[in-house]
Every structure is written in C-alpha cells, then in structure tokens.
Amino acid sequence: MAALGNLSNDQIVTAYRNAVRARTLDLKIINAQRQGIIGFHVPAEGQEMIQIAIGMLAEKDDLIFSYYRDLALYLQRGVPISLIFDQMLANGNDFQKGRQMPDHFSFKEFNFSTVQSPVGSHLPLSVGAAYSFRYNKKKGIVIVTFGDGATSTSDFHAALNLASVFNLSVLFVCENNGWAISVPTNRQTKADIYKKGAAYGIPGKRVDGNDLIASLAGLQEAFDYVRSGKGPYLVEAVTYRIGPHSTSDDPKKYRVDEITDGSENDPIKRLENLMLKMGVVDLNFIQSAKAQAKEEIDRTMEERMSIPAPDPSTIFDDVYEEPSWIQEEERRDIDGSD
Amino acid sequence: MAALGNLSNDQIVTAYRNAVRARTLDLKIINAQRQGIIGFHVPAEGQEMIQIAIGMLAEKDDLIFSYYRDLALYLQRGVPISLIFDQMLANGNDFQKGRQMPDHFSFKEFNFSTVQSPVGSHLPLSVGAAYSFRYNKKKGIVIVTFGDGATSTSDFHAALNLASVFNLSVLFVCENNGWAISVPTNRQTKADIYKKGAAYGIPGKRVDGNDLIASLAGLQEAFDYVRSGKGPYLVEAVTYRIGPHSTSDDPKKYRVDEITDGSENDPIKRLENLMLKMGVVDLNFIQSAKAQAKEEIDRTMEERMSIPAPDPSTIFDDVYEEPSWIQEEERRDIDGSD
Amino acid sequence: MRSLRGYRKRRGGILMAQINMVQSLNKSIDLLMANDERVVVMGEDVGKDGGVFRVTDNLLSKYGEERVIDTPLNELGIVGMATGMAMYGMKPIAEVQFQDYIFPAFDQIVNNAAKIRYRTGGRFNVPLIIRTPYGGGVKGGLYHSQSGESYFVHTAGLIVVTPSNPYDARGLLVAAYKKNDPVIFLEPKRLYRASRAEVPDELFEVEIGKASRLREGDDVSIITYGSMVPVVMSTVERNGVNAEVLDLRTLLPMDIEAIIGTAKKTGRVVIVHEAPKTLGVGAEISALLAEKAIDSLLAPVMRVTGYDTPFPYTHEDLYIPNEKRIMGAIHRVLAY
Amino acid sequence: MRSLRGYRKRRGGILMAQINMVQSLNKSIDLLMANDERVVVMGEDVGKDGGVFRVTDNLLSKYGEERVIDTPLNELGIVGMATGMAMYGMKPIAEVQFQDYIFPAFDQIVNNAAKIRYRTGGRFNVPLIIRTPYGGGVKGGLYHSQSGESYFVHTAGLIVVTPSNPYDARGLLVAAYKKNDPVIFLEPKRLYRASRAEVPDELFEVEIGKASRLREGDDVSIITYGSMVPVVMSTVERNGVNAEVLDLRTLLPMDIEAIIGTAKKTGRVVIVHEAPKTLGVGAEISALLAEKAIDSLLAPVMRVTGYDTPFPYTHEDLYIPNEKRIMGAIHRVLAY
Ligand SMILES: Cc1ncc(C[n+]2csc(CCOP(=O)(O)OP(=O)(O)O)c2C)c(N)n1
Ligand SMILES: Cc1ncc(C[n+]2csc(CCOP(=O)(O)OP(=O)(O)O)c2C)c(N)n1
Ligand SMILES: [Mg+2]
Ligand SMILES: [Mg+2]
C-alpha cells in the first residue's frame, strides 16, 4: 500500500468505482443519444482520473466551477446519477427546468456553480466568488476546471490577472486533453499551459492527469498553496480525450494519424493495473464494480425516463425574479388566451 | 561619440530636436485646450525618448500601429506638425474629416495605421496586418505600441497568442509609464510586463525607455529578432508620465505621494546632459532648438486655426463605401430638405 | 462630519440637498454602502481617483479597499468578476468608465449575467448594477459618446434604466439596488452637472418600469428619456406646444400603460432619443403603438434620433437631436 | 476532379446543382477562393474539421494552411485579426462557430470593423465577411440557438444579410464578397440541410438591400427572413391565405421600398422572426410602417416572434414561431 501514499483502500476503491461509474455513464449516454433519448453529450472518457483527484481533495466548503466535461468529478463529489439523468433528459425533475443542454449542470447543493457553453466564461465568475468568500469570511477555496482551448479565451486572461491582483484563493485546473474539438494544443498555443501563470505572477505545475497518484500529489501542493491564502495557482493536468469532442463530432475528420484505443493513457486501466499489482483488489472485484455500475446506471435511466417534461409555461419563469408584462403577455400567447 | 554607439551627430541632433518639438507641441496643445481651441489632449511628456527610438529603428516599409500618446513617434517619422494640428483642431483639412477626438490619427502616408480610443483594441488588428504582410510577401514588419494598462485587456491576450501561433512579425512595445490613469502598474498586474510573453512563447525584454541609447540598444535586438522572421517579440519600455493622463485628468487626486517634477526621469533632460557631456552640442544649441520648435509650432497652429471646419453634410459619408438610403434620408434631414 | 454646504432642512426633519446628478449618485452609493455591507463599488479608477466623473469620489477613504475596488483595465473581467460576486452574496455596483467600453464585457453581460437566473432554473441570481455614462455632447467623438441602450434593451434578463435628473438618479439607483436581477444603469453624462435639483438626503425609490409624465398636454405626445429630456422640455416650452411629455426612465421593461395611454390621448406621437434610429428604442415604442394603439394614431409616429452613423467629433451638435429637428417632427404630426 | 454527383446540365452550358445550403456555401467559398487570392477562411475548426457544420469542408486540402486558417479559441482574436487583414489587402471570411459565441468579439465588430472607414475619413476600409450560424431548432439550448441579428442591425457601418435557401446563400455571399464593408452573414442553421435547390455552379449575385417577394397576395403581407421563411410559406399555403410574402434577405439596410410597397398594397402586415420581440428586427419594420405608411394600415402591425426569454432547451418548439401562432396573427389582422 505504500506506493499509493496515504490513501486508504477505501479511498482507492471509491475513486475507482466512481471512475468506472462515470465511464459507464458516458457510454450509456452516448448510446441514449444515438437512440434519440438524450439530445447531446460531451463525454469525459479518458479524463476521469484528474476529475476524481479534484473531487478527493476538495472539501465540502470548497466551491467548484466545473465545465461541461466533468462527469467523474460530479460523481466523486456525491452527486446522484438520478440527478444527472434528470438534467440530461431535461425532465420535469431537472433543477434547471429543462432549460439547458445536457452536461450543463448547476449542482448547487454539492457546492458546484453553474455550467454554461461559452468556453472560459465561468473563469471570471469563479474569481468573483472567491472575492465574495474572502469578503464574507466564508471557509473554502474556489476551484475552476476548463480545457486547453479555454486558455486562449479572453476570460482566462481576465480571470487570472484579477485573481492574482486581488490575491484570491482560486485553484485553476486546466484539463489539457490535447484537443479543442479539432485543434490540437500545439496550435492553440506555443507555450506550456502551466507556464501561462507567469504572465500574472501565478505559480503553475503540470501533473499527469491520467494517473491518480500523480494527480493527487501534484494537486495537493496546489491545494495547500491556495488554501493557505497565498493566492491563485494554475495546474495543468495532462490528460487524453478518448472519444469524440461531443456526440456531434466526428474525430475521424481530423484525428486520423492518432487513432488508438487510448489504452496506454486510459486512466481507469492504469488504476486497475496499479490496484491489481498492489493487491488492493482482484479481478473479480473489477468485474463486479463494472457490473454494479452498469446495473445502477441502466436502472436509474429507466426510472428517470418516466418523468414527464417540465410544464411548458415555465419557459417564461426565471427571466427575472418577477416576470415583467412582456413575459406575462407572451405566456398568454402560448396559452392561446391572447 | 563612442558612448552614443553608432549614432551620428546628425541622428542625435535630429532625435533631440524631435523630442523637443514633441514636448513643445504637448505644452502648446495643453494651453490651447485650456483656451478652448483644442478639445482634448493626451500628452506624451516624459515618454518621448522610447517613441523617438522606435521611429529611428523603424524602416519606411514597417507599419506602425501607434496609440493615442505617441506624439514624438509621429514627428520622428516625419509627420508634419501642420497635419497634427489639422487633426487636433478637427478642421476641414483633417484627413479624417474631423470625426475623431484629438490624438486619434491615421497617418497612412507615413505608414501608420489608425488610432482608436478603446484601449488595446488595435493589437489584434496589428496581428492581422502582419499576416497580410507575410501573405502578400510585402517588406516590413509591424510595430505596435500601447500602455501598461493595455496589457490587461483581452485584446492583448488574443493578439499575443495569435502572433505567436502564426509566428508573425509583430514587435509589441509597451510604453510602461507607471499608470493607467490613476491605477499604478503594480495594481494592474503582479507580473513584470516583459515576462508576459512567457504565456505565449514570446521572448521579452525590458528597456529604460527614458534613455535614448538604452532604448535603441534594447529595441535593436527586438527589431532584429522580428525582422529575421523568428516571430513576435515583446518590449517593455519603462518610462514616466510627467503630466496628467489627459487634459481631463487631475493627477493630484491620486498621485500626491509622488509629485516631483520628474526631472531625474525626464528623457529630454537626460539626452541634453549626455549631449553636453559628450560635446555633441552646446547650451546655445539647446536654447535655439527650443526656440525654433516654439516658433514653428506657434506659427503652424496660427496657420491651421484659420482652416474652416469640415462640411456638415460629410458626417453622413464613409459609413459605407456608398451611403444606404438610411444615411441619405438622414442627410436630407440635416439639410432641412426633408 | 459630512459637510452641509448646499443642504437645507425641510419638512419632517429630512435634509434636502440642491445637488447635481453626480452628487446625487455619489451620495446614493454612499448611503447604500453605509446601509448594506454587501454593496461594493468596482471599476477602473473608481478608488483614489473617485471615478473619471467623480461619481465614486471619497468612497475609498470612507469604506476602504475591500469595498471600493480599483480594477485592472479589462471590462470583461470587471463584469465577470462582479457577476460572480453577485451570485455569491454580494451586491456589486460595477462601473464601466464609458458605455463605449462596455462591449468587451458584452459576452459576460448577455451570456452570463442576463441568463444565469434562467439557465439555472432560478437557483442562482445576479443582483448586479452596471453603471455607465453614455451619450454625447462632451466632445468625445466616436468612443466617448455612444448611446448603446438598444443592445441591452433587446436582451431579456436585463433591466435597463436611465435617469434624466438628480432626483430620479437617486431613486432609480436605490430601486436598482433592490432588484435581484442585473440592472444596466445608464447615466446621461451630458446631464451630470447640467443642473441641480432638490434631492431628499436619504434612500428613496423611483419605481422601475414606471415612466414619469413631465407635462400634460393634448396635441401631441413626446416620448423621450435620459439626456434628451431637458431638450424636449425646453423645446415644447419655448415654442408653446401643447405637448404631453413622457420621460420613460426605465427602458426595459418600458411602461406600456403610459405609452399607450398618452398615444390614445393625443393621437400624435413623437419619439426623441439620441441613439441611432435604426432599432433604437424608438423602434420598439413605435412598434408597440402600431400593435396596440393603431386606431388612435392620427399621424405618423415620428422618431427624432441620432443618426445611423458613428458619433462624429466636430459636428456632434448636428448629430444630437435639437430644437429645430424636434419642432420639425412636431409640426409634421400636428399638420397631418 | 470535382464530383458531378447531384449535378445536371442546363441552358448555356451552366451546370446546375441540386444542393443544400451547406453545400452551396461551401461551393461559394471554394469558387471565391479559386477566383481571388485575397480570400482566406479563418475560424475555429474550419480547417481539417471543415467547420462543425462542414461549410468549409475540403478547403484546407485544396488551398492550404495559409488560406484556411484554424485559429485558437478566441473570437475577439479571430475578428480582430481578420479586420487587420481586411484593412491591409485581404478579404477574409471569418467564421464564428455559433452566433451565440460572437459576443466576445462584439467590441471588435462594433468599435473597430464597423467604424474604421468612418473614423479614418474613408482612408481605411474593412472588406470582411463574418459568417455565423444562428437560430434554434437543433436542440441547442441557450447557447447554440440565439438569433442576435438586432445587435448588428442597430450598428451603422455593418451590413447584415441572411439567406433562406441555397440559392440566396450563394448569391448573398458573392454580393457580400463584392462589398468593401464588413458584412455579418447570418446562416440559419436549421435550414443548412433542410432542403435542396438548384444553384448555378458559378458565382452570381443576389443584390444586397433587395428583398425577395416569394409570393404575391392581396389580403395580408407577411415580412420575414431566414429560418422562418419555410414556416411562413407552408403556413400560408396550407391555410390558403391570400398572402404576400417578403423574404428580406438583407436586414441592414432593409429594402424600404419593398416593405412600404407591400404594406400599401395589402394594408395588413404580420412580421415573423425567431429573435425575441423587444427590439427585434420586427420593431424597426413596424416603426418604418408607422412613420411612412400609417394611412395605409388597416390593422395593427403584428409581430410573431421568439419570446423575450433566453432560448430554452426542452421546449424550443414552443419558442420558435409556428403555424398556429402565425395563423393567430393573420386571423387577427384579417378580422380587424
Ligand atoms: C466562446 C466559445 N467559442 C466556441 C465554442 C465552441 N466550442 C465548444 S467546445 C470547444 C472546444 C473547447 O476545447 P477545450 O477548452 O480544450 O475543452 P475540451 O472540449 O477539449 O474539454 C469549442 C470551440 C464555445 N462553446 N464557446
Ligand atoms: C476598453 C477601454 N476601457 C477604458 C478606457 C478608458 N481609458 C482610457 S486610457 C485608460 C488608461 C490606459 O492606460 P495605459 O494603457 O497604461 O496607457 P497610458 O494612458 O498610461 O499611456 C483608460 C482606462 C478605454 N479607453 N478603453
Ligand atoms: Mg481540450
Ligand atoms: Mg500607462
């Protein structure tokens, strides 16, 4: 067990289970998308381990601004699969009333913020949240995840500079999966991502995001730094996008040279191998973990599919705290009462 | 003369004369602004020498995207003071037809681009111009100047990244005068500006922008690098804003601790001292250079003030190549013919 | 130790001040900050400098750096960070130095601030005020003169207000503060110091969504707002026009009852604003009338507006609607 | 070696293709690039991927990396860089992947591209095309569905066009290319593959500023554009409405003669678009009518539009104007 550092068997097994659940969920959703049951999906396949590591190190009071490709992170932080399906199916139980595309969650109860599509635009929000935390003497730091493509956005620049100038407790974690849709990271930027903090006086570190132990070790340093109030920190987690960018994407168009099964990078296989080698678990366990995940996910989707869509008239709610005459007039239009 | 490197006496004297002309022009315009003759001004006082140095090293084919505080640069590149007054007075001779605020020039004939007010927003344009230069196999590089505040803008981030990714010949020169209106540079960013290139894989260098010789030496390296096709380069010229941000600004509000006459930093005084020490010129020369500048500027302003304003109806021109019915209808409205 | 210069007592012991719009706004923010710790001020030069128009003057020394925040030069960052603060328990009043410089923040405003309540099913909200001076008349050329209200009025999820006098400035700012939604607070910079008015020295509200009828009249209705209000008032007064004048005050949502009401009363409507005509706010007013009051209209609905050009420097006085142009439209509808 | 699948010959030896809008646009760009070295394509994923909607498919292999430019993820940068290229002798066609993501570039569009000709007194100009897919109906939720045309139509200095079919897509793109001013080229993504049409296999123009009268009629005029065109056509046809239908095609400057002409002819106008109502393009149309054709109006000018809410995911079909809502408005004006 020494090789796995201070981790207990329980922690490792939980991490593994959640990674497997996330992977299984990804595949289930992709399937459901093909069948027209779910509209869209951005799979986390290949990026599970860095997400799990963040989930393991983040405390309850820490606020996470996740991005659209963080399934494993939600699971590790305890979000039930039922809630994930409610959002993906955009049913009447969805906290967001079926307003957002799949993968755009707002799991406030689990101390997540809200996911949007415009890449990078949550980064400045996370800085504001950190300001508020310090101002209100709240416990906890702010963690924000994003892709390699996001480092090119104006929001990234604004956010890192602000976090640094105001010395805020924000941990920036870039999940560098090598691609922004079809654009490889080396055409996104000529610099190493973890060095981009230099432009703001923010320290940075690169970790192997496909390795749980390496991710935890690297992240721990970053968490400690930020938690001690020293200011923001930038982690680049090098990882691997096994699948397409999304269910709308066809990577064969741009990824021909590189089609592999990704197994040498697959973070789940790597953890499996490690666990087996260390004798934490045996092959039986692995098989049953996968079977359990599949059973849970199949059952949950079946169950959540029966929940009806949100009431149509709700599309006029929540534009404002109270609808103006405009929304009310338009609501009557839909009712046919106008 | 050895101390002044490879410069000829002529070059030094010209540089000095242009710095003095710029300074004299600044003071003249500030005065004219107080009298209501000119609407507004952003003085270059204190920043003349780095601007002169750029002007000395830039070749005719080099395209310069200057910013609103570059009076000395225009003079060094040969722009006649009459044209400067035409724009500042926004008279009928102004190339821009009196459309822009003072200091927002478009001296195309001198291979300058166009100055706008939104800080930093010319940087991406400069990158596009450099792309076009390479694409069209035009000679010359692109030089772009901007302030320390501009390094915080989204445009800065976008531009440096693009210039680097496409390996374009853009020389970025930040005139760090210590202030963005009332915000000192250390509250603008926690990083050294010349190191910001690290986020993009762009080399950077800091030069003493108040010293002609140091500016030339530092810039020469940057020019050589860019001109040889190696890609973009970032120069931080540390300089000093002697005056207010603009004629609308009252620095006493925020600059109390620091009110000095700036003489230890004044680049013109420093060049004077150097020239005297080296025996390039004597005190008589200095006095007469100043008197000549004053005479030229007084006379030119007097002359340009007599030029009438642009024809009112021109405000409807140049919205498009050809006005649409909307502008034509509105033009008739002003004529009273509608 | 507040100075009482310019103040005088009035009924009920409430101090009344003869102050201009800048002073009214400055005092409003001061009162809000004194009253509610969640309120902070942020933007470029809002601290020591007190804002380039002095709207945040003296607040830094009173409330300190944590509450009066000089930011780096990035409007996206200012608005994005303020939005995050607003989502997590604060009530920021963010300043954009000129409305012309709000566009770098446009994505944060339109895609985040305006849509966060909706996209989260009401789980998050953004009680944020974005103050920004707008409009011409200060020799600011293309980039210190724009009237961009349409960009915001077209954006559901935002509230858009603009005062035309020191009293409404206070009342609307307080009302904006009470909203739990993002408010674009447009300050007509030409009016900042143009006149003084009596403003009670306390927090009071001017209801958002309600226009102010500045003048009753029978022959023609003039609907306007912001910097054009004094021009319209002096025009109708100097020319003895029997006009009803509405100052909209809120541009989103507009006071539909007041608009329809006055149109039905006079049958003749002239809309005056400084923003360009095409899809200016006047277009929506006119469209509302064409939809809801067509039978009452006795004449074309005329729009007297800024032109569909960028804002020029030398001839800015030609760009901004003036008495002559307003009277031209009034004559036209009266003669119809 | 171009494939002739789907092509057939027609008069004058000109090849006609039965193609959808994506194919038409793709071919248009191809022809423009073959014709003029100054034309380059740039944007996120426009290269190897051929654009997420495949509009730039195969161009990279044909024209190389210098002319088909995959950019980093920054719309401000894309538009700003393209503007610089356009100022200095090139004719970039920049793609913004979804119109929802154009807002980060808004400052570059509004303050630079749209104003450079004006502010320089005509010394510089920006012959730039910004292509972007817009509108809902693809289950894209808040951020892959917006119809933001108003933001651009309000901006003098821009030209704004939107095709409703493969033929106009070619013709308008070519016309945009001929302009020496920035053109916002809005592509109704719902129509990308919705139908095929015969498109001559060459460069031809559809005049900018001219609407297309898709149908003559006497009882009511329906003014629409983009993705709503097929909905309007099928609605009037299925319901046997004697309607005149205008497809605006250009939103700035609009075809004022066609608009006034049809209103004068029928006296009854219904405007249909997908963007939110408040200050949607319909507001300007309605205002033009209220100003220039008030005496001809026999009924309220009705707007059938998207709602003043962000664009919802589950119920997007309720958001987009449909036959029922359009017929509701038609009945209302006919019965008036
Ligand atoms: C502002 C913006 N521009 C474009 C897009 C379209 N888009 C969605 S995801 C994506 C690539 C993002 O890449 P990266 O940040 O590396 O994250 P990844 O998807 O690889 O996890 C793009 C271009 C968007 N959502 N937002
Ligand atoms: C986008 C934008 N935001 C705000 C302003 C207002 N403004 C004009 S100059 C300036 C400070 C610029 O400082 P810096 O870049 O250091 O240049 P300097 O004026 O010191 O030469 C500010 C905030 C502006 N012009 N543009
Ligand atoms: Mg990526
Ligand atoms: Mg500066």
What pLDDT is stored for residue B49 in this prediction? 97
- Ranges of residues in chain A with a pLDDT under 50 are 1-3, 337-338
- Is the pLDDT score of B121 beyond 80? yes
Q: Tell me, what's the pLDDT at D97?
A: 98
| Statement: residue C146 has pLDDT above 70 | yes
Write b or e for each residue in D28-43: b if 16 or more Cβ atoms lie within 10 A of its Cβ, otherwise e. bbbbbbeeeebbbbbb
Mean pLDDT of B223-238: 98
Beta bridge partners of A206: A236
ipTM above 0.90, yes or no: yes
> Tens digits of per-residue pLDDT, C17-55?
899 999 999 999 999 999 999 999 999 999 999 999 999
Give the tens place of pLDDT for each residue, D274-314. Answer: 999 999 999 999 999 999 999 999 999 999 999 999 999 99
Structure confidence at residue A334 (pLDDT): 81
pTM confidence score: 0.97
pLDDT tens digits for range A64-101? 999 999 999 999 999 999 999 999 999 999 999 999 99
pLDDT of residue B275 exceeding 50, the answer is yes
Rounded Cα distance, B291 and A310, in Å: 81
Provide mean pLDDT across the span C311-325: 96
Average pLDDT over residues B252-257: 82
Q: Does residue B120 sit in helix, strand or coil?
A: coil
pLDDT surpasses 50 at D203: yes
- Please give all residues whose beta carbon lies within 6 A of any atom in ligand 1, as ranges: A 69, 117-119, 147-150, 177, 179-181, 241, 245; D 44, 73, 75, 97, 101, 104
Asked if B171 and B223 count as a contact pair (C-beta separation under 8 A), the reply is: yes
Region label for C186, one of left (φ > 0), alpha (ψ between -120 and 50) or beta (otherwise) = beta
Which chain D residue shows the shortest CA-CA distance from A337? D328
Q: Which residues of A touch D142 (CB under 8 A)?
A: 99-101, 116-117
Six-digit token pair at B85? 């007054």
- Asked whether C166 and C199 are in contact (CB, 8 A), the reply is yes
* Ligand (nearest to CA of C111): 1
Using alpha carbons, select from C282, C242, C239 the residue that is nearest to residue C259. C282
Q: Which residues of chain D neighbour A100 with C-beta distances below 8 Å?
A: 141-142, 313
Per the DSSP assignment, residues forming a β-bridge with B206 are B236
Q: For atom 19 of ligand 2, which residue has the closest CA?
A: B180
For residue C7, pLDDT beyond 50: no
Q: Delineate the domains of chain C, giving CATH numbers in brackets.
A: 8-200 (3.40.50.970), 212-335 (3.40.50.920)
Per-residue pLDDT at C2: 38
Q: What is the pLDDT of residue C49?
A: 97
Check residue A257 and give its pLDDT: 58
Sheet of B63-65: strands edge to edge?
B63-65, B142-147, B170-176, B233-238, B204-208
Res D212 pLDDT > 50:
yes
Rounded mean pLDDT, D247-273: 98
Residue B336, pLDDT > 90, answer no
Taking 50 as the threshold, does the pLDDT of residue C223 lie above it?
Answer: yes
Residue A247 CA to residue A241 CA, distance in Å, equals 13
Q: Which of residues 104-163 of A touch C (CB under 8 A)?
A: 104, 106, 108, 113-114, 116, 118, 121, 123-133, 135-136, 154-155, 157-159, 161-162
Please write the tens of the pLDDT for every residue from A237-269: 999 999 999 999 999 999 875 656 566 789 999
What pLDDT is recorded for position A262?
61
CB–CB contacts below 8 A, A to D = 119
Number of H helices, E strands in chain C: 12, 15
Pick C141's closest partner by Cβ from B101, B187, B319: B101
Measured in Å, residue A117 CA sits from the centre of ligand 1 at 8
The tokens describing B212, both together, are 């002609």
**CA A288/CA D13 separation, integer angstroms:** 68
- pLDDT given at position B265: 80
Distance from the Cα of B66 to chain D's closest Cα (Å) equals 14
**Mean pLDDT in residue range D76-101:** 98
Interatomic CA distance for residues D66 and D176, integer angstroms? 22
**Whole-number Å distance between alpha carbons of A293 and A25:** 8
Q: Do B198 and A188 touch (CB under 8 A)?
A: no
pLDDT at D24 exceeding the cut of 60: yes
Residues near B331 by beta carbon (within 8 Å), at least 6 away in sequence:
B313, B316, B323
Give the chain D residue nearest C332 (alpha carbons).
D291
What is the share, in percent, of chain C residues with pLDDT greater than 70?
Answer: 96
Domain B2-307: give its CATH superfamily. Answer: Thiamin diphosphate (ThDP)-binding fold, Pyr/PP domains (3.40.50.970)
Query: Any CB–CB contact under 8 A between A246 and chain D?
Result: no
Q: What number does the ligand 2 atom closest to the CA of B117 have?
A: 25
pLDDT digits (tens, 9 = 90+) for C50-92: 999 999 999 999 999 999 999 999 999 999 999 999 999 999 9
The domain segmentation of chain B, as residue ranges, is: 2-307, 312-338
Query: CB-CB: which of B124, B317, B324 is closest to D253?
Result: B324
Question: Pick from C76, C84, C119: which is nearest to A116 by CB?
Answer: C119
Span D231-258, average pLDDT: 98
Answer yes or no: is pLDDT of D2 > 60.
Answer: no
